[in-house]
Amino acid sequence: MKVLVATDKPFAKVAVDGIRKEIEAAGYELALLEKYPSKAELLEAVRDANALIIRSDVVDAEVLEAARELKIVVRAGAGYDNVDLAAATAHNVCVMNTPGQNSNAVAELALGMMVMAARNMYNGTSGTELKGKKLGIHAYGNVGRNVARIAKGFGMEVYAYDAFCPKAAIEADGVTAADSAEALYEQCDIVSLHIPATPETKNSINEALVNRMPKGGILVNTARKEVINETELIQLMEKRTDLKYMTDIMPAAHDTFSSKFAGRYFTTPKKMGAQTAEANINAGIAAARQIVGFLKEGCTKFKVN
Ligand code: 3PG
Could you tell me if residue 304 is left (phi over 0), alpha (psi between -120 and 50 degrees) or otherwise beta?
alpha
Distance in Å, CA 288 to ligand 1 centroid: 16
- Percentage of the chain beyond pLDDT 90 is 100
Residue 73: give its domain's CATH number. Answer: 3.40.50.720
The answer to whether position 90 is within a domain reads yes
Beta 94-97 vs 51-54: how paired, if at all? Answer: unpaired
The answer to whether position 302 is within a domain reads no
Res 21: pLDDT: 98
**What tens digit of pLDDT does each residue of 251-270 get?**
999 999 999 999 999 999 99
Q: Are residues 42 and 73 in the same domain?
A: yes
The answer to whether position 304 is within a domain reads no
Q: Are residues 218 and 113 in the same domain?
A: yes
Which segments of the chain have a pLDDT < 70?
none
Res 266: pLDDT: 98
Res 198: pLDDT: 97
Distance in Å, CA 214 to ligand 1 centroid: 30
Distance in Å, CA 80 to ligand 1 centroid: 9
Res 24: pLDDT: 98
Q: Are residues 238 and 292 in the same domain?
A: no
φ and ψ at residue 51, rounded to 5 degrees: -145, 150
Cβ atoms 53, 291 nearer than 8 A: yes
- Return the residue whose CA atom lies nearest to atom 9 of ligand 1: 55
Cβ-based neighbours of 172, under 8 Å, separated by 6 or more: none
Which structural domain range is residue 12 located in?
2-101+275-297
Q: Are residues 137 and 284 in the same domain?
A: no
| Nearest-angstrom CA–CA distance, 21 and 299 | 20
The number of domains in the chain is 2
What is the pTM (predicted TM-score) of this model?
Answer: 0.97
Res 69: pLDDT: 98
Res 264: pLDDT: 98
